[in-house]
């Protein structure tokens, strides 16, 4: 690696997956040290610098890795098991245990989940301003009323954290059951799809993600992964 300097806030944004403004906030809070000294706004670092966040060293040179994984139902995305629920990390080789998930799928959801050690990639995939499209195949406990479908797609449904709006497609040429739909979402709020349908009296009985940005699940089998390019 060339011994070129890099602005500290850019370095932190790339490694920690935060915005540069958030990186500046970390620096201002005194939580960042460079070569043992509390960092200042506007500082620069290079590959000879020792950068620490909360006493943890952040490596300057990192071999970034990106995985696409088909998460099965019943597994959580956290590193630690939750009660009797295992974690998806139980299904990955030890060499990938330190990768972080890009967003999450809840225990009862399945499909495409991305993992990486590239904080900047994770930030660009998940921050609302980038509006990454995500596609899900879902099933409800009963067919969706046309009025409710129009309401969600055109006007949105008010939730406790704001209006939820997404596109719903019912393609009768597919193999989806009568209560099955395709949902196209550009937001990423916690359990947004489930909460939106619940607000109208429906229960999501299946939620399977097939696309995330430019990445798609394709023929990847459950519990399997592939290395992808950013």
For 227, the 3-state DSSP assignment is: strand
Token code pair at residue 104: 């999450």
Closest Cα to residue 224, out of 113, 133, 137, 65?
113
β-partners of residue 135 are 184, 211
Query: From the candidates 24, 46, 106, 154, which is the catalytic residue?
Result: 106
What lies within 8 Å, CB to CB, of 148 at 6+ separation is 200, 202
Residue 106 falls in the annotated catalytic set:
yes
How far is residue 18's CA from residue 15's CA, in Å, rounded to a whole number? 8
B/e letters for 11-32, b = 16+ CB within 10 Å, e = fewer, are bbbbbbbbeeeebbebbeeeeb
* Cα four-point dihedral sign 69, 70, 72, 73: positive
Catalytic residues: 106
């Amino acid at each position: 690696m060339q011994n070129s300097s890099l602005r500290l806030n850019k370095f932190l944004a790339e490694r920690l997956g935060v915005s540069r403004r958030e990186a500046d906030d970390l620096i201002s809070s005194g939580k960042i040290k460079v070569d043992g000294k509390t960092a200042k706004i506007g500082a620069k670092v290079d590959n000879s610098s020792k950068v620490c966040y909360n006493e943890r060293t952040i490596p300057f040179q990192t071999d970034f890795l990106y995985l696409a994984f088909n998460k099965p139902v019943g597994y959580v995305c956290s590193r630690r098991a939750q009660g009797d629920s295992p974690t998806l990390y139980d299904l990955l080789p030890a060499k990938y245990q330190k990768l972080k998930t890009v967003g999450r799928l809840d225990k009862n959801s399945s499909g495409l989940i991305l993992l990486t050690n590239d904080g900047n990639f994770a930030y660009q995939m998940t921050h609302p301003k980038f509006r990454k499209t995500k596609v899900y195949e879902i099933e409800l406990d009963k067919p969706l009323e046309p009025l409710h479908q129009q309401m969600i797609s055109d006007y949105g449904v008010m939730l406790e954290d704001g209006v939820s709006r997404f596109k719903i497609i019912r393609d009768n040429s597919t193999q989806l059951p009568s209560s099955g739909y395709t949902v196209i979402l550009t937001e990423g709020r916690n359990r947004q799809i489930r909460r939106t349908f619940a607000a109208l009296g429906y229960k999501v009985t299946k939620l399977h993600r097939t696309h995330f940005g430019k990445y798609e699940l394709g023929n990847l089998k459950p519990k399997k992964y592939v290395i992808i390019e950013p």
